[in-house]
Structure 1
Amino acid sequence: MAPITSAITRVLVTGFGPFGGVPDNPSWGIASRLPSALPSNIELLVHPSYVPVSYHPTLDLVPTFHDQSPDIALHIGVAAGRKYFAVEQTSQKSGYEWVPGVDGEIFTKEEQQAAWGPLPEKYSTSLDLHATVARWKELTSGLSFSERGSGARAKPVDVRFSDELPDMLANFTTQGQSVTTQDDEVKWSDAVGTYLCGFIYYASMAEMGKRNTGEQRNVAFLHVPSLDTEEQIKVGVDVTVALIQALVEVKGST
């Protein structure tokens, strides 16, 4: 697939801040190290600070992201129980009343109804993630994942603030050590969860759909594993850059 070289593509990128068990969130570590531009006329609009792991501040921020009129929005979060990078297909508008954010607040059923009442229970991105992942695999084939060492070496996690509770509980022992192994380093997924990762994904797709003719939701969510060292974060930056390039190429070819 040939890279897009004519029009400028504006890609918004965000990362999350610390939460229980994750004092240095690698999603913000990656986002904050991205350049302002990439080859093939890609302009990166990196939000200048991390998104707090709290529902109400996040909901307030989402419209400001889209005030910049990005062609693609990419939100990044951590899934500490995984050893791979994954783009998520769908998110849902309900279920955020169970696990509080770092401020101790939930997003109640009544608030969910007030914010998104008439909208579908699930939103799926308008981006072709299957084609994107195929291209992403090509672009990352030369990267050295060995620099991650054991990869997503898990820290003890407070499950009250876990990013995706079913996934975390499945992938962790009671001592908080990862017991999962994965063959693929980059992949498609449909398990964004109902914590802040799913919340920002749904809110961002709803906001972009509201603003665009035909309700195009050119939004993606990237889950990254725990990355503990500067070398691992650098690998995460390279993987994310490759994903952005793949998203732009695939979008431009459709």
Structure 2
Amino acid sequence: MSHIPVRVLVTGFGAFKEITANPSFEIVKRLPPSLVDVEIIAHPEPTEAVYHKLLEVSPRLIQQHNPTIVLHIGLAVERDYFAVEQSAYRDGYHEYPDMERKVISKLDVKKIWGKKSAENLSSSFDLESVVEVWKRNLGSRSDNKARGKRDVKLSQQQLPDVRFSDDVGAWVCGLVYYSSLVEFSKSSGGQRNVVFLHVPPLSGDSELEMGKEVVLCLIMALVESL
């Protein structure tokens, strides 16, 4: 019997406002197609910061790829650390227009998800526990490119700052997260193996390579936590 690998769908956002090269998608472009027993499906197009397109893309990608895990990545311009977000809210998108200056009104919310839909949905992953595994994975990865050696562990001071959070926000990050949590639950009998990762501003090859390593370590932590 052939072994069926875990399938991880990963998306990143494109340009918005003054951000011309979004590090979330720059990282996604650098991801390898696989890890051991893991197939990585890196969506080849950046996700647009447009509400109605986000409502279409999440269901389509989940139905198309039937992933075991969905990982959305977005940029948090005010942060200097990486953070996984535990949950997302259904409401609030009427307050903040998207890049086409449109909003999701309260009436739109009822039409899209129904009056009895949950105000808040959480990932099925215990992300506080995932963060501990994530940190361990980062600490055990060899710093081969920087040192030219194998089995050299990074010190705590050298490790990227990765954290748990529950503040995805009420803009495009929150909407794509909530939408995917809803769709994944529908397709999997109630499971919500969806995670949103906020990355800090990153630029240049070295920072983006570091971001890629952070994401790969997170993917491994999520797979281990299934």
Question: Which of the numbers 14, 19, 31 marks the counterpart of 2:16?
Answer: 19
Q: Which residue of 2 aligns with 1:77?
A: 74
CA contact (8 A) 2:160 2:214 kept: no
For structure 2, which runs of at least 5 residues remain unmatched after alignment?
A: 147-158
- State the distance in 2 between where 1:184 and 1:112 align: 37
Report SS of the residue matched to 1:96.
Answer: coil
| Residues 193-243 of structure 1: per-residue CA shift (max 9 Å, x gap) | 000000000000000111122x10000000000002121111000000000
**Identity across aligned pairs (percent)?**
40
Instruction: Note the alpha carbon deviations across 1:51-84, whole angstroms, 9 max, x for none.
Output: 0000001111111111111000000001011111
SS at match of 1:99: coil
Alignment of 1:119-198 (within 5 A): 119-141=117-139, 185-198=161-174
State the 1:7 CA deviation: 4.0
Deviation at 1:184, TM superposition (A): 7.3
Q: How does 1:1-254 map to 2 (within 5 A)?
A: 7-39=4-36, 41-67=37-63, 68-117=65-114, 118-141=116-139, 185-213=161-189, 215-251=190-226
* Structure 2 contact 130–222 (Cα < 8 Å) conserved: yes
**Post-superposition offset of 1:21:** 2.2
SS at match of 1:35: coil
5+ long unaligned stretches in structure 1: 1-5, 148-182
Q: Output the CA distance in 1 between the equivalents of 2:11 and 2:47.
A: 7
Query: Per the alignment, do residues 17 and 184 of structure 1 end up closer, same or farther by CA in structure 2, a change over 3 Å counting?
Result: closer
Rounded to whole Å, the distance in 1 between the matches of 2:130 and 2:109 is 31
Q: Number of aligned residue pairs: give it.
A: 207
- CA distance, structure 1, for counterparts of residue 206 and residue 140 of structure 2: 16
- Per-residue CA deviations over 1:156-184 (Å, capped at 9, x if unaligned) read xxxxxxxxxxxxxxxxxxxxxxxxxxx97
- CA distance in 2 between partners of 1:132 and 1:65 (Å): 24
Structure 1 residue 105: Cα displacement = 1.3
Deviation of 1:122 (Å) = 0.2
2:225 counterpart SS class: helix
In the alignment, the residues of structure 1 paired with residue 160 and residue 168 of structure 2 have an alpha-carbon distance, to the nearest angstrom, of 18
Q: Using structure 2 for the length normalisation, give the TM-score.
A: 0.88
SS state at 1:57 partner: helix
CA distance in 1: counterparts of 2:7 and 2:136, whole angstroms:
23
Superposition CA RMSD, Å: 1.6
Find the aligned partners of 2:105 and 2:40 in 1 and give their Cα distance. Answer: 34
CA contact (8 A) 2:97 2:103 kept: yes
Equivalents in 2 of 1:188, 1:78: separation in Å? 15
What is the identity, as a one-letter code, of the residue corresponding to 2:122? S
Q: Secondary structure at the match of 1:140?
A: helix
Q: Aligned partners of 2:59, 2:178: CA distance in 1, in Å?
A: 12
Measure the CA separation in 2 of the matches of 1:95 and 1:24. 27
